[in-house]
């Protein structure tokens, strides 16, 4: 089965450090999402791209977060500087958009101490 | 803004029972609704995708229904098993200007005890 691959699976970092999370969408998928999951807020949409162009990043704190798709096989989510409140599981998902479903990666569990 | 609500928040049943999980959404302009399963510490696994033009989708012991006009979907699990224990999430796939944007409910935590 085709998979969405996220790296790293786990990341522990100190407050103030830069964190970069990577996602390899399924080949041929043109829509990529970044979600954050916490116990309190559930799944929150941070950003999404279609054909590598950002469509909506209104859920993302702009002062410290950035999301990019340097090419069709790679999406990145960067936090600089990281804070303890950023501790969460970050999921990437890809799909064909519109009436098609989406496939999620296994997530990156981030802990900021 | 689309809002998705799932009821109940948690459900505990004995093995063998049939059960229904509910999902409601405020904006009926959706392409489809997708049901996911999430095991503790794991990612989301897609269970069923039901298009806005469909009323039902079935996969094994799972059946999802959709009533777009009333903003409701249900996930029916027949003959529940302990292996069904997980969190179940529904997600509405928006149409219109939010083309393809997924909005999730908070999930229903299901426990099936032997």
Closest in B98, B100, B104 to A43, CB measured: B104
- Summarised one tens digit per residue, pLDDT across range A15-48 is 999 999 999 999 999 899 999 999 998 999 999 8
- Summarised one tens digit per residue, pLDDT across range B13-64 is 999 999 999 999 998 888 899 999 999 989 999 999 999 899 999 999 999 9
- Summarised one tens digit per residue, pLDDT across range A69-113 is 999 999 999 999 999 999 999 999 999 876 778 899 999 999 999
- Is A91 in contact with B104 (Cβ distance < 8 A)? no
Tell me which DSSP letter residue B32 carries.
Answer: E
Q: Interior CA angle at A43 toward B99 and A38, to 5°?
A: 160
Torsion over CA of A96, A102, A106 and A111, rounded to 10 degrees?
A: 90
Closest in B41, B102, B106 to A33, CB measured: B102
> If DSSP codes are grouped into helix, strand and coil, which group holds residue A84?
helix
Tell me which DSSP letter residue A23 carries.
Answer: E
The B residues from 61 to 80 touching A (CB cutoff 8 Å) are none
């Amino acid at each position: 089965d085709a998979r969405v691959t996220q790296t790293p699976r786990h990341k522990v970092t100190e407050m103030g450090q830069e964190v970069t999370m990577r996602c390899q969408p399924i080949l041929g998928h043109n829509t990529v999402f970044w979600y954050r999951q916490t116990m309190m807020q559930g799944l929150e949409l941070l950003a999404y791209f279609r054909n590598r162009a950002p469509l909506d990043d209104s859920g993302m704190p702009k002062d410290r977060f950035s999301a990019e798709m340097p090419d069709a096989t790679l999406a990145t989510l960067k936090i600089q500087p990281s804070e303890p409140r950023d501790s969460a599981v970050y999921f990437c998902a890809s799909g064909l958009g519109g009436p098609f479903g989406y496939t999620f990666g296994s997530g990156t569990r981030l802990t900021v101490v | 803004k689309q809002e998705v609500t799932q009821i109940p928040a948690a459900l505990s049943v004995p093995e063998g029972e049939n059960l229904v999980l509910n999902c409601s959404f405020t904006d009926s302009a959706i392409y489809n609704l997708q049901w996911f399963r999430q095991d503790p510490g794991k990612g989301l696994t897609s269970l069923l995708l039901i298009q806005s033009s469909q009323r039902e989708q079935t996969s094994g012991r799972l059946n999802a229904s959709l009533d777009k006009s009333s903003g409701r979907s249900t996930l029916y699990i027949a003959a529940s098993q302990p292996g069904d224990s997980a969190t179940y999430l529904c997600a509405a796939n928006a149409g219109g200007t939010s083309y393809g944007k997924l909005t999730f409910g908070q999930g229903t935590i299901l426990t099936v005890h032997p």
